[in-house]
Amino acid sequence: VTMVKRVAIVAAGVSGLASIWCCLEEKLEPTCFQRSNDVGGLWQFLIGVTSNPQKKAMNMVYPGICESTSAARSEHLFEEALDDRSIRCKVRLWVIHKRGITLRKEPVFNDEPPSHMLCGTVSIKPSVKFTETSAMFEDGTMFEAIDVVTFATGYGYAYPFLDDSIIKSRNNEVTLFKGIFPLLMEKPTLAMIDLARSLGLPSPQLTCRPTAVKVFANSCTLPTTNEMMDDIDEKMGRKLKWFGQRQTLQTDYITYMDELGSFIRAKPNIPWLFLTDSQLALEVHFHPCSPYQLRLMGPGKWDGARNAILTQ
């Protein structure tokens, strides 16, 4: 008799709820641990925003949206003004411009610092050394009686709740196979669900169903440690180029879905679809990518996936 594997799921947010369902689908026995009495995580509905000190500014219904849906639309207010050709011209002044980042990075640009530097209200100083009440810079200047110091150096990814023998951050890089499995464990019994930021809601269910649950149920085998490390290095090289050191958890949504789908052989075979179901093939290949596509074939196949894609 085969024993049912028990799976511990930490937190009952969106990822935790998806993990519970995926475990039940694979005949595993999930136990979810949640500190509060509510489920849903960040998606939990609250009448008021309890964590924001400016609650009055955050927990009110958008004005006019209940009385009139047209009040929430503002495009028509500018139609007459934008009809002027002189206003429609493309303005390019001295403000900062950056090309090629629309879908790759999170641009944070501010045009005010250059102006403040020119007029002297903001000065750039080299390395700093602190005493109890002062700051001394490398060029010899010193500021006395300082009350507050603000460090805007950014953050690094770390996992203080896990031992370094399980997972260790490397230069702010996440060394997880497929963004899910740590490499240093003897057996793949730990999975990080939806840690990678793929900018898509189906990601928790996708990362849990095709990889974590399949591996736990012995339906899918992970490569060797060296092969997984090579895969991580290759992916991380592209991420550093696309997103920068600050966004090493970021990944392209469709590429990530295809990658996980291919890993468990659930990615739709487009040439085969063109031969067997041309209507569905055209919809899958040329129309928006939807999670239903990973239910067309392979593990977890759903009979209603075709109709869902054609009627969405």
Q: Residue 177's beta-bridge partner residues?
A: 181
**pLDDT tens readout for residues 186-243:** 888 898 888 877 765 556 777 776 678 888 888 888 899 899 999 988 888 887 777 6
The beta strand positions in 78-158, using DSSP E, are: 128-130, 135-137, 142-143
Nearest to 27 by CA among 218, 304, 265, 267: 218
- Single residue among 149, 166, 185 that ends a domain in this structure: 149
Q: Across the strands, what pairs with 128?
A: 137
- 252 found inside a domain: no
Please name the residue that has the structure tokens 């392209």. 252
pLDDT at site 275: 94
* Better-predicted residue by pLDDT, 96 or 157: 157
Question: Quick check: 124 and 117 in contact, CB under 8 A?
Answer: yes
Query: Residue 135 CB: number of other CB atoms within 10 A?
Result: 15
**Would 291 be classed as within a structural domain?**
yes
Q: How confident is the model at residue 283 (pLDDT cuts 50, 70, 90)?
A: very high
Helix, strand or coil, per DSSP, at residue 233: helix
Whether 274 and 263 have beta carbons less than 8 Å apart is answered as no
Does any domain span residue 282? yes
**pLDDT score at 207:** 77
9 contacts 19 by C-beta, under 8 angstroms: yes
Indicate the average pLDDT of the chain: 77
- Report residue 295: phi and psi, to 5°: -110, 5
Residue-number span of the structural domain to which 133 is assigned: 121-149
**pLDDT at position 69:** 46
End-to-end CA distance of the chain: 43
Of 28, 68, 9, residue with least CA distance to 215 = 28
Q: What is the CA radius of gyration of the chain?
A: 26
How much is the pLDDT for 290?
A: 84
CA distances, 80 to each of 77, 84, 86, 87, 88 (Å): 8, 8, 13, 11, 12
Residue at 11 is within a domain: no
**Looking at residues 266-275, what average pLDDT do you find?**
92
Tens digit of pLDDT for each residue in 123-155? Answer: 888 888 888 888 988 888 888 888 888 887 777
268, pLDDT greater than 80: yes
Q: How many domains does the chain have?
A: 2
Residue range 50-103, pLDDT digits in tens: 554 444 444 444 444 444 444 444 444 445 555 555 545 444 444 444 454 455
pLDDT of residue 14: 82
pLDDT of 8 reads: 94
Section 115-127 average pLDDT: 83
- Asked whether residue 156 is domain-assigned, the answer is no
Region 155-169: mean pLDDT is: 79
The tally of CA atoms less than 13 A away on the side-chain side of residue 298 is: 19
In a domain, 287, yes or no: yes
Burial of 69 (0-12, 13-18, 19+ CB in 10 A): exposed
Q: What is the pLDDT of residue 7?
A: 92
- What is this structure's pTM? 0.64
How high is the pLDDT of residue 278?
93
Q: Is residue 35 domain-resident?
A: no
Q: What percent of the chain has pLDDT over 70?
A: 74
Domain boundary among 100, 132, 149: 149
Q: Is residue 137 part of a domain?
A: yes
- Across the range 168-192, mean pLDDT stands at 84
Domain finish residue from 101, 132, 149: 149
Residue 210: per-residue pLDDT? 60
For residue 305, name the pLDDT band (cuts at 50, 70, 90). Answer: very high
The rounded distance, in Å, linking the Cα atoms of 15 and 22 is 10
Return the pLDDT at 119.
Answer: 85
**pLDDT for position 67:** 45
Give 310's pLDDT tier (boundaries 50, 70, 90): very high
The length of the chain, given as a count of residues: 312
